[in-house]
Structure 1
Amino acid sequence: MTIQCSKNLIAIAIASALSLPVSAADKQESESTMEEVTVVAKKLSHANHVIESSMIKQQSPASSILAIMDNLPGISINEGDAFGGDDWSTSITMRGFTIDGNQQQLGMTIDGIPNGGSNYGGGAKANRYLDSENMRTIEVSQGTSDISSASLEALGGTFNFVSADPAFEETTTLAYTDGDHDASRYFIRHDTGRIFDNTYAYASYSSTSTSRWVGEGSNGGMQREHAEVKFITELGNLSITGRLSYDDADEDNYNSVSLEQFNQTPDWDQLTWNWTGTPHLDQMFAEGWSTLRENTLGYVKFDYQLSDNFSFQITPYFHKNKGRGDWIPPYLVSAVDDEGNPVNQGGSIGSTYGFTDQNGTPLAPAAGCEQSFTWPWDSGPGLHPACYSDSAVPVMSYRHTHYEKDRVGLTANAQWSIAMNDIKFGLWAESNERNESRDWHKVIDARVYHHFDATPYWTQYSNEFQTDTLKFYLQDTLDFGDLSLNIGAQKYLVDIEKTDGFTNQQTGKVNSDSDVLFSTGAIYQINSNIELFAGYSENFSAIKDGVLEREASTLENIEPETAENIDLGLRYNTEDISFSATYYTIDFENRITFIAPGSDSDGIDYTIGTNGSYLNVGGIESDGFELSVNYRLNDQWSLYSSYTNNDSRYVGDAPGFTAGDKVIDSVDDMFVLSSDYTKGDFRLGASGKYTGERGDAPSYTTFDFNAGYFVPFDGQAISSIDIAFVVTNITDESYLSTGTGNGTTFFIGAPRTASMTFTASF
């Protein structure tokens, strides 16, 4: 194949050869020969890894892209849904740091653009921005993030999800996935090839739907619509890259269970799938536990090569997030102001009632009716139908928590090589406006279904948060031949304000600036195959705006979270083997914890609102080691393995734990072994992962299997067809996947799940 192009487009040609889709001839060649073993890590003075191509094939395209990095050392990805279609039950742990519904201690970026937080309430993980077909790789920095990383959460490292570049030739790709649990997915991508003599672009769209694997019938599920556009334009020494993604997801959640409940019914999360007309039962109806999210993220990157030794990038970006979280409390509330007068916004709950007469007048339970029922059916005395006459009408609410976020920002990075110095410097600036409100809607007729009145009968709270961030960084790497040294410093300036949406008055303000954060490291090249590295960094996580939500939080006594990370390691690379070993130790201070009112009570507190408080409660000390190896046996076979040993313990006493206790949900040991085989157009892969105990949750081992066949058609209208088959948890292991941060409840891991994907390129 002969390609005529300008010198400035050579980089795109190379990049497109590594991206999807590619031409039929190129893909046939790549599929029929064994790929070279990729380098496990970059030449950095801290532990870092990138995913292998085989890891993408281990997951169905219908799955979340988060699951792709689960086999890397130090990382545990847990999702309650078989295809990762429920943010509520998703968590990520690495070296004792966690992303879950309550904690955001790991940074996440997409093409270097900050994701806007990974929390459930208004955040968005990488799976909201990127389809697997449009992903080139995932760069993982364990423990220490790259100094230029734009994140306010990178206490324990970062994940950078890198999107694929447009293909060099015009190509159209269609794919369909069908799988267990009613999984169905349509995907289309069109690459324009070269247009305007200097531009390459693609546009893609996917539609994915699945059902919850728990239960049957009306057991809920996930529906996701996703679109992406990306272009690259070369103008002399200036390269312009633009990308826009849109994601609209409607997810029904999974519920966490206790170890006792799991042992009793290991395939049931206590949610129901038949509407009974009895509110204290129907509060657990699966379709009433929902997460609705809409995310749009766009950026334009200007990359200018000023000279052979100086370049800079400027990337303005924007992000719009809109969403809702649903629950269905088994009662209506009567809200009152401070003087006891009824209100429809603000105030507090004066009383609740679960039954009315035929005219809608609240009824009191029969005298002496103090029944207590086993959770999850226990909603307090007076909510069981046995407390009322047969003519009583049950009532319930549909509670909505609304999330909106608008971010605009800019990253600017420069690199200057002079003499023995490689200098990096830059900044990150962002304005983040987040709105959160909660309203209660009356279920029109609880005896029939959960259809609700669109007009809320009470708005519990409405808050606006403004977060302004400015980060500066500077790093110099000195090259002494076999030895390179680096030293860097970064500084965060973070201001957060809260405004009451009812009064438009500022009700909270906190400064979350960091100290000057230093980092240093060294790499020593023993020979062409072996290098040693060591690194030290001071990491930082700003106070979250959620701290200002809680009226009892004492802001003047809350400090930002910090962590000191030390990595010592070795990398060994030959043509057939890539090996990495790292020992690390981490000192995490000023850990911020939420203390809920009545946190020792059973059941769901639907009325918690803005009560409770945040406070610093000591910290965490972690140490451990990580090993990974990729070995190419021959042109057909390759083996990959990783092992992690981690010991994370609390420092200082706090509610729920004492000093020296193991960190809730942290994993002590993980071991991965996988093998991939390629012969001609046929491919085959299998992997297994052992995950050790996490508090009360027992250890477990899961195995996955994948196979595929690629058929090229040279000179035909269809250039190629690919068939891919994936089975996760092939032994149907029953296990608890991820905790909820309290050490007592966990989400149930998904059962054996199979899917098949047909892909055609034109």
Structure 2
Amino acid sequence: MSLKTTTKSTLAIAISLALTPLAYADDTTKEEKQIEEVAVIAKKLSYANNTVDQNMIDQQAPMTSVLAIMDNLPGININEGDAFGGDDWSTSITMRGFAIDGQQQQLGMTVDGIPNGGSNYGGGAKANRYLDTDNVQTIEVGQGTSDISSASLDALGGTFNFVSKDPEMQESTTISYTTGSHDAQRYFARYETGEILKNTFAYISYSDSSNSRWVGKGSNGGAKKQHAEMKFVSTQGDLNITGRISYDDVAEDNYNSVTVEQFNATSDWDHLTWNWTGIPHFDQMFAEGWSTLRENTLGYLKFEYAMSDVTTFEVTPYYHKNKGRGDWIPPYIMHPVDANGNLTDKGGEAEFRYGFTDQNGNPLMPAEGCTANYSWPWNSGPGLHAACYDRDAIPVMSYRHTHYAKERTGFTAKAQTTFDNHDLVAGIWMETSERDEHRDWHKVIDARVYHHFDAKPYWTQYELTFDQETVKWYLQDTITFDDLTVNLGVQQYLVDVEKDDHYDSSKDVKVDSDSDVLFSGGVQYQLSPSTEIFAGYSENFSAIKDGVLERDASTVTEIEPETADNIDFGVRYFGEDLSLTATFYKIEFNNRLRFVSPGSSDADGIDYAIGTNGSYINEGGIDSDGLEIGATYKVNNNWELYASFTKNNSEYNDNIGDIKKGQTVIDSVEDMWVVSANYFDGGLRFGASTKYTGERGEADDFIVTDMNLGYTVEFTGNGVKSVDLALVVNNLFDEEYLSSGDGRGNTYYIGAPRTTTFTVNVNF
């Protein structure tokens, strides 16, 4: 990577601090403050943050995605295609007007502090690809402002850090089985080794889960997933070593978004079909042809060394490999030609498409003047209507695959020391990644029979390789003056991304996506032993994604990275029975990126052949402000109550096409509240949680209630140690609602119906 001269000296300082002990540590340090992590409330930091507790984990079934666990935290709205998180395509996360969905990635995500490599559908992977719900310890959420050491290129609006559980000290084996609605079943096993070497403990786990799509019946698609994890921790003198590796292999059939009008007509159908008709125009909506296949392997080794009582150093190298594909079944075959007009199987452009052939396989054109037309589910033109051809014409289809592959290698390093009233931390994150993407088209062997396709593609539309190098450095000083704590930090991202077009070198492009030196700062003041106030400011940054480089190379060099300035003001109270946190925030989001499609409209339906056409542009920004409140109250030894409230106002601050200044941001939620109760008595536990989600554009507000009931029986002796029974019901009252939008503002995904699961867990 070519680093700019103006940053070299600063970067050198950061590397030096991260890789060597700081020389002036005072032997007589201040007494270390106890960081108090109250269930579901917050850590004592100068910015808004929340963590989940075991109650929120119990409210979800073990086969549920780990993303769903944090849905009840203030400010957060999680939506997935079904109650199990069985479809990445329809998954969305919104927080303070920022989103992770099919159109944008504006929130950072890490697993044990390791960057996830992006959360986008094409080549990215969210935390549910790396972590089983049974193995999650907690989730740390930084609303608006992230920890300065967080390793993410997407953290415009905050970060989510998913923390895996550590191995137990005693040898044990856990086996569980889950069964439930929509053919759901899951097998899980985890073996805790106990002490295998001196001060060394480990576990290994495996799960196999599957479920059908809840929409429709019969041959309706679904999700199948195999997942494995291994983790060890070892303490050898002043050195702590942690190693972890996860493997995830999933095949998912997608859910489709619908308009409000379609939902009002049929609230339990996403307009995908489950019977093969032999009519390509209808069969392009066959659910099993809308698929996501992914494999992800992520491993890291973390070395933490105590150089003295006041100085520590850690370094964590990691490796990630991702591969997979996304499927669609267009109701036609393309006729691609090269620059000279000759038929080609690589690159070029589609000269025309055809939906019917004669008995010899020759393309047929519709009869002259034919006006016969399809109108459901959208207009595909008269060229695809059987009435425009002789009765012996043969319908044809394609099976379109977009292949994704990514390899990332990197490390994070951090040094921390204390002297006088200063806590200093300095660190660096470096990563090199290569991502390959290509799209090929296969002929469906006989569209009249089924979607079986020829393994050899008839056309590879494009083939791209993206190389990216990332460096982030940071410095932070936390200064304590009795009841007042002040922290000051600086960080910078230096990102180079380059595209290699294997078929057309004129489309190669390279972009330096470097940030300015970004400032963050905050204060905490302890009003009393139980009450503190805080205020924080941060300059957040999102690097230009390699997906932007897929498009028109002539416009890419004009793109500016997205930025956001975040301000938090808040109060925290930690009483004997009541814990509460309230935060007011204000955010200015600039240089928002939007994809401009090349002349298509939603009325035309899916543009399967869009390829790498279109472009991204910076347009205006978003202003957000709001209030987040979260509280936990311990009624007595048996009952605990939790509540959260969110008021968010996110508006566009410029006129953007059809969007007007002051208009509410697409898919952002203005009002949310949660009320939850949990009961414990010996081995019995019970919980119920109700969440209200306000209007989003044309989608109405809705209320969903979840319920869980569990009982644990303990045994003595050398055999079975415990048996746990758990019942979870999501959407208890079977509410019909539209959950999240697809990021475009005109269609939404249908919320999952009542879903029940029952789990038997045996520990021995």
Question: Per-residue CA shift, 1:368-407, capped at 9, x if unaligned?
Answer: 2222332325322111212222211110000000000000
Q: Does 1:230 align with 2:231?
A: yes
Which of these residues, 662, 665, 669, is aligned with residue 663 of structure 1?
665
Say whether residues 1:597 and 2:598 are aligned partners: yes
- CA offset at residue 367 of structure 1? 2.5
1:557 CA displacement: 1.8
* The one of 739, 746, 756 aligned to 1:744: 746
Classify the secondary structure of the residue corresponding to 1:87.
Answer: coil
1:118 aligns with 2:119: yes
User: Match for residue 688 of structure 1?
Assistant: 690
Partner of 2:88: 87
- Equivalent-residue separation in structure 2 for 1:48 and 1:493 (angstroms): 27
Match of 2:680 among 678, 681, 686: 678
How far did 1:311 drift? 0.3
TM-score, with length taken from structure 2: 0.94
Q: 1:185 corresponds to which residue?
A: 186
Measured in 2, the distance between the counterparts of 1:195 and 1:753 equals 41
Residue equivalent to 1:287: 288
Q: Shift in Å at residue 575 of structure 1?
A: 2.0
Distance in 1, Cα, partners of 2:658 & 2:468? 31
Specify the code of the residue in structure 2 equivalent to 1:685: G
After superposing the two structures, state which structure 1 stretch, 671-680 or 331-340, moved more: 331-340
Shift of 1:657: 1.2
Aligned position for 2:297: 296
Tell me: CA distance 1:151–1:180, structure 2 relative to 1, closer, same or farther (3 Å): same
Q: Matches of 1:428 and 1:157 in 2, distance apart?
A: 18
Q: Distance in 1 between matches of 2:204 and 2:505?
A: 42
Describe the SS at the equivalent of 1:257. coil
CA positional deviation for 1:552 = 5.6
In the alignment, residue 752 of structure 1 is paired with which amino acid?
Answer: R
Q: How far apart, in 2, do the equivalents of 1:141 and 1:601 lie? A: 36
Instruction: Report the Cα offset of residue 234 of structure 1.
Output: 1.0
Instruction: Single out whichever of 132-141 and 549-558 deviates more from structure 2.
Output: 549-558
How far apart are the structure 1 equivalents of 2:462 and 2:347? Answer: 6
Distance 1:758 1:508 in 2: 54
Kindly indicate whether the alpha-carbon contact (under 8 Å) linking 2:103 and 2:744 is maintained by their aligned counterparts in 1: no
Give the whole-Å Cα distance in 1 for the aligned partners of 2:371 and 2:64.
47
Can you list the C-alpha shifts for 1:228-278, whole angstroms capped at 9, x where unaligned?
Answer: 000011110000000000000000000000000000000000000000111
Q: Counterparts of 1:656 and 1:716 in 2: how far apart (Å)?
A: 69
- Corresponding residue of 1:425: 426
For the 8 Å contact 1:37–1:632, the answer to whether it is kept is no
SS for the counterpart of 1:338 is: coil
Q: Deviations over 1:4-32 (max 9, x none)?
A: xxxxxxxxxxxxxxxxxxxxxxxxxxxxx
User: Per the alignment, do residues 501 and 145 of structure 1 end up closer, same or farther by CA in structure 2, a change over 3 Å counting?
Assistant: same
Residues 1:64 and 2:79 aligned together: no
Specify the alignment match of 1:359 in structure 2.
Answer: 360
Name the residue aligned to 2:478: 477
Match among 641, 644, 647 for residue 646 of structure 2: 644
Match of 2:330 in 1: 329
Instruction: Tell me the SS of whatever aligns to 1:546.
Output: helix
SS state at 2:548 partner: helix
Contact 2:98 2:157 in 1 (8 A): yes
Question: What residue number does 2:508 align with?
Answer: 507
- Offset, 1:338: 2.2
| Cα drift, residue 601 of structure 1 | 3.8
> Where does residue 712 of structure 1 map in the other structure?
714
Q: Please give the alpha-carbon distance, in whole angstroms, between the structure 1 residues aligned to 2:657 and 2:208.
A: 44
- Write the deviation string for residues 690-713 of structure 1: whole angstroms up to 9, x where unpaired: 000011111000000000000111
Tell me the SS of whatever aligns to 1:382. helix
In the alignment, the residues of structure 1 paired with residue 313 and residue 750 of structure 2 have an alpha-carbon distance, to the nearest angstrom, of 47
Contact 2:507-2:553 within 8 A present in 1 as well:
no
Contact 2:40 2:53 in 1 (8 A): no
Name the CA distance, whole Å, in 2 between partners of 1:57 and 1:86: 22
Q: Which residue of 2 aligns with 1:107?
A: 108
- Measure how far apart 1:342 and its partner are: 1.0
Where does residue 6 of structure 1 map in the other structure?
Answer: none
> Could you tell me how far apart the structure 1 residues matched to 2:554 and 2:578 are?
53
Alpha-carbon distance in structure 2 between the residues aligned to 1:51 and 1:697: 28
1:366 is displaced (CA, Å) by 2.1
2:664 counterpart SS class: coil
1:291 Cα deviation (Å)?
A: 0.2
Spell out, residue by residue over 1:295-328, the C-alpha distance to the aligned partner (whole angstroms, 9 max, x if none): 0000000000111100011000000000100000
What corresponds to 2:12 in structure 1?
A: none
One-letter code aligned to 1:241 = T
What residue number does 1:458 align with?
A: 459
Letter paired with 1:677: Y
Contact 1:552 1:611 in 2 (8 A): no
8 A Cα contact 1:686 1:704, kept in partner: yes
Q: Give the drift of 1:556.
A: 2.8
Letter matched to residue 237 of structure 2? G
Match of 2:147 in 1: 146
Q: Which residue is 2:218 aligned to?
A: 217
The residue that corresponds to 2:731 in the other structure is: 729
Match of 1:563 in 2: 564
Cα distance, 1:742 vs structure 2: 1.1
1:37–1:575 contact (8 Å) kept in structure 2: no
SS in 2 for 1:263: helix
The alignment partner of 1:750 has SS state of coil
2-side partners of 1:225 and 1:481: how far apart? Answer: 52
What residue in structure 2 maps to residue 134 of structure 1?
A: 135
Alignment of 1:149-548 (within 5 A): 149-502=150-503, 507-548=508-549
3-state SS in 1 of match to 2:557: helix
Structure 1 letter corresponding to 2:689: S
| Equivalent residues of 1:553, 1:615 under 8 A apart | no
How far apart, in 1, do the equivalents of 2:661 and 2:96 lie?
Answer: 18
Task: For 1:601 and 1:417, locate their aligned partners in 2 and report how far apart those are by CA, in whole Å.
Answer: 58
Change (3 A) 1:39 1:749: closer
Choose which of 699, 717, 740 in structure 2 pairs with 1:697.
699
Q: How far apart, in 1, do the equivalents of 2:673 and 2:602 lie?
A: 37
The letter of the residue matching 1:636 is: N
Pairs within 5 Å for 1:6-25: none
Rounded Cα–Cα distance in structure 1 between residues aligned with 2:435 and 2:379: 35
Q: 2:610 aligns with which of 604, 608, 611?
A: 608
Residue 716 of structure 1 and its aligned partner are, at CA, apart by 4.3
Q: Tell me, what secondary structure is at the counterpart of 1:280?
A: helix
Q: SS state of the match for residue 307, structure 1?
A: coil
Q: Which amino acid aligns with 1:518?
A: F
Contact 2:272 2:285 in 1 (8 A): yes
Residue 570 of structure 1 aligns to a residue whose secondary structure is strand
Give the structure 1 partner of residue 582 of structure 2. 581
Provide the residue aligned with 1:45 in structure 2.
46
Which residue does 1:627 correspond to in 2?
629
Q: Distance in 2 between matches of 1:475 and 1:729?
A: 44
SS in 2 for 1:88: coil
Q: Is the 8 A contact 1:37 1:576 kept in 2?
A: no
The Cα shift of 1:655 comes to 3.2
Unaligned runs of 5+ in 2: 1-36
Amino acid at match of 1:425: A
Name which of structure 1's ranges 366-375 and 677-686 shifts more when overlaid on structure 2: 366-375
1:543 shift after superposition: 0.5
- Residue number in structure 2 paired with 1:14: none
Q: Is the 8 A contact 1:37 1:631 kept in 2?
A: no
Residues in 2 aligned to 1:501 and 1:171: alpha-carbon distance in whole angstroms: 52
Taking the aligned partners of 1:366 and 1:91, their CA distance within structure 2 comes to 45
> 1:281–1:377: 8 Å Cα contact kept in structure 2?
no
Q: 1:631 to 1:601 in 2, by over 3 A?
A: closer
Q: Structure 1 regions of 5+ residues with no counterpart? A: 1-35
Whole-Å separation in 1 of the counterparts to 2:589 and 2:286: 40
Partner of 2:32: none
